[in-house]
């Protein structure tokens, strides 16, 4: 689970960096902030004494990210129906919708794996 936490953080950091490189807008830097927090918590979780706390906090940030990104997922079908994503008139701020959707798709598998990990750990006790 610790490795998955670090990988999720790194993917979010790369997503934000790529978004800023391609579109030069500050709002796509939000994944970098969330990814940095998750990555730092993954590094803290390397310490066996702090693993449980760090993973729980990382999942809390993941849930916050999922809630914030949910609006992007809801608007994704309208965005994909446009010919060109950048000039799509059917959604407000198409780049933000695209990056929120991708961020949701990165966070959701981590959330599911975390819940399964917590259930498995609880059953082992």
pLDDT value at residue 61: 97
Q: 67 to each of 35, 89, 106, how far by Cα in Å? A: 15, 25, 13
Q: Residue 118's domain spans which residues?
A: 2-124
Residue 59 CB neighbour total at 10 angstroms: 22
Residue 49 CB neighbour total at 10 angstroms: 6
CA–CA dist 97, 10 (Å, integer): 21
Which structure tokens are listed for 113? 């794996």
Per the CB < 8 A criterion, the answer to whether 5 and 58 are in contact is yes
Q: What is the pLDDT of residues 46-100, one digit of tens each?
A: 999 999 999 999 999 999 999 999 877 888 888 778 877 777 777 778 888 888 8
Vertex 43 angle, CA 37 and 48, to 5°: 125
Q: What is the pLDDT of residues 99-122, one digit of tens each?
A: 888 999 999 999 999 999 999 988
Q: How many domains does the chain have?
A: 1
């Amino acid at each position: 689970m610790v490795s998955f936490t670090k990988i999720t953080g790194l993917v979010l950091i790369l997503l934000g960096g790529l978004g800023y490189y391609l579109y030069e807008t500050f709002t796509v830097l939000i994944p970098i902030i969330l990814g940095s927090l998750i990555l730092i918590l993954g590094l803290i979780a390397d310490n066996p004494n702090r693993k449980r706390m760090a993973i729980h906090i990382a999942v809390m940030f993941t849930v916050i990210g999922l809630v914030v990104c949910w609006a992007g997922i809801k608007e994704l079908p309208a965005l994909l129906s446009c010919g060109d994503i950048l000039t799509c008139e059917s959604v407000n701020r198409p780049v933000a919708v695209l990056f929120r959707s991708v961020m949701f798709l990165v966070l959701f598998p981590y959330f599911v794996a975390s819940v399964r990990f917590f259930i498995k750990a609880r059953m082992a006790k």
